[in-house]
Every structure is written in structure tokens, then in C-alpha cells.
Amino acid sequence: MFQYAAGLALANHHKTTLKLDVSWFDKPEKQEGHEKYGLGCFHICEQFATEQECSAFFPKNLTRGERWALAAKKLLRIRNCTKTFEQTGAAYFQRDWGYDPLFWDLPLNTHLDGYFQNQSFFEPIEKELRSHFSFRYPPTEKVLRMADKIQSSSPSVFMHFRRQDYVGTNSIYGPLAVNYYLQSLKELKERIGSFTVFIFSDDIDSVERDLKLEMPCHFVRATEKHNFFDKLRLMSLCDHGIISNSTFAWWGAWLNPSKEKIILAPKPWHADIDPQFRSLKPVPLTWVQIDRNPQAPLAAAE
């Protein structure tokens, strides 16, 4: 969603068409669900670039990993370079995780490769983007019932846990400790008083086992396994949100258009303290950042 948003913003800037290179998703079926192309559930301008159109930007058909390796090799040969992007023909590779205003100087007929996880890349088209990211498919009966419950529980707060692929020593993101969520609930209670919590996760059973809250809460199981967009739909209906260090949760919060919403997010975003991640600042200034590793132990929220 971040890549689409940035691409659409640049296309609009040049008054041209956005085409999607989805070749990265051409993987075996063993890949995780979040590694599959899934923008078809939205009302986006879904025009796909052909293999011939994509190959014109590179000396050969490179995989995404090879593109990153090529960019790294070029970077090592360049000293005191201040630009965020480097041109290879008409192909640009995002060099770090941050936003750079030079993005708007990129020319027509450009192939973008990066994460673009900062809303400054698409802030000028926020209103249009919300239209693009409206849901194409109607909700199921189970989702409708949960939506009614959320909207009748004002104020409502969604809380998202990302586990599965974040669990393990190889994850640079790392799962968030329960204390982060308890601290966030405490902060939110001080701001708005009582509320009802709706809990979302890719492993809802383990979250329900580990999390004991002394406040009204619902562990959401209304969505079908492969209909990830229904989780986004339901999260966006909540008045406020406590997100995990997941871009999926980020978009669940962003899709709520309310200017009154309070969104709490972890700081830092990554568990890995590698310097390359210091420029990653996906959390908007209007959101509240909570230490992901609070020092003092916390009791279950009341």
C-alpha cells in the first residue's frame, strides 16, 4: 500500500499513469499471505506493467534482491553522496528508509523500487488516496455484526498484535512485549477515560492466552483467513487505535479519516538497532509514540 501510494502521488505530480510491477510476487505458493499481491480488494487504478516494460529499465531481468544488490554496489563506489535515490537508466532505488523531498524531482517514465514508509510521500493526495483505498467487496454477515458492535461501543479502540513471522531471532522487527500494550492502554485511559477494546492479530489464540485485561474487550475472529481487508475495514471503524510495529496495522489506523482519533505506536519501530533503520520514521507526527520496552512492570489494565 505504501508503494502504491507513493507511485500514485508521483504519477499525479507528473499528470501521468501509474503502472504496477508485480513481478516480485511471482513466488511459489509456500509464501506467507502477506507476501502475496492483494491490492485488488481496493478501488485502485490497477494497471499492470508488462514484463517487456519492466525489463527496459534494467540491463537484464533482475530479481528484487538483485536490484538491491546492484544499488548497494553502486553506493559503495560513491563517496559523500547526498541523494536518497540513484538512477540506473530510468530506475530509482530508495537508498534508506526515510523521506526525501528529492522524490518529487524524479522524471517521467521512472521505475520506483523501495518501501516509501512515510506519509510525506503521498500526503498531497490524501483525499484521493482514501477513495482508492475504499473497499471493493461488501462485508460478510459476520463482519457486519462485528462492525455494528464496534460502532455501538463508542469509544472503541482497536489493538493489533503482529506475531507469526515476527517471532524468532531472525526478525528485525520483533514482537512487542505485553507491557507496551498495557502502557498504551494506560496512556489512552488518561486521555479519554473508559473504552472498549477490539483485539486483532495474525495469531489471535496466543494473544487471548497471554493477554488478560480487566476492561471490556473482544478478540476479533469475524474475518476469514484470506480476507485480510476485512481486518483493515474493522480496525478503521474504531475511534482510536494501538498499533503494532506492522504496516498492516499502520494502514488500519490511517484508513480511519477522523481528525479526532488517537493512535498510539511503538518507538522504536524496529527491534534491531542497526543504524540503517534509524531513518525509518513511519509514525506521523500527530500520533503518539510509546516506548516499546517500558522499564517498569505493569499490572493488567483495569
> In this structure, what CATH number is given to the domain that contains residue 148?
3.40.50
Domain limits at 111? 2-128
| DSSP run (H or E) holding 197 | strand 196-201
Q: Examine the fold and report which residue of 71, 95, 128 is the final residue of a domain before the chain moves on.
A: 128
Do 32 and 12 lie in one domain? The reply is: yes
| DSSP run (H or E) holding 51 | helix 51-55
Share above pLDDT 90 across residues of the chain, in percent, rounded to a whole number: 59
Share above pLDDT 70 across residues of the chain, in percent, rounded to a whole number: 79
**203-239 pLDDT per residue, tens:** 999 999 989 999 999 999 998 877 899 999 999 999 9
**61-104 pLDDT per residue, tens:** 556 776 676 666 656 654 333 334 444 447 888 888 889 889 99
Number of neighbours of residue 129 by Cβ within 10 angstroms? 22
**Number of domains into which the chain is organized:** 2
Look up the pTM and report it. Answer: 0.85
Determine which of 174-178, 205-209, 291-295 has the lowest per-residue pLDDT on average.
Answer: 291-295
Do 184 and 222 lie in one domain? The reply is: yes
Q: Round to whole Å and give the CA distance between 302 and 30.
A: 42
Helix and strand numbers, DSSP H then E, in the chain: 9, 9
Determine which of 39-48, 120-129, 169-178, 202-211 has the lowest per-residue pLDDT on average.
Answer: 169-178
Q: What's the confidence (pLDDT) of residue 191?
A: 97
Q: Does residue 299 form part of some domain?
A: no
273 CB contacts (<8 Å, ≥6 apart)? none
Q: Round to whole Å and give the CA distance between 49 and 177.
A: 41
Question: Is the pLDDT reported for residue 154 higher than 50?
Answer: yes
The average pLDDT across 159-185 equals: 81
Q: Does residue 297 form part of some domain?
A: no
Q: Examine the fold and report which residue of 107, 128, 149 is the final residue of a domain before the chain moves on.
A: 128
Question: Is the pLDDT reported for residue 6 higher than 90?
Answer: yes
Spatial contact of 17 and 47, defined as CB atoms under 8 Å apart: yes
Do 122 and 197 lie in one domain? The reply is: no
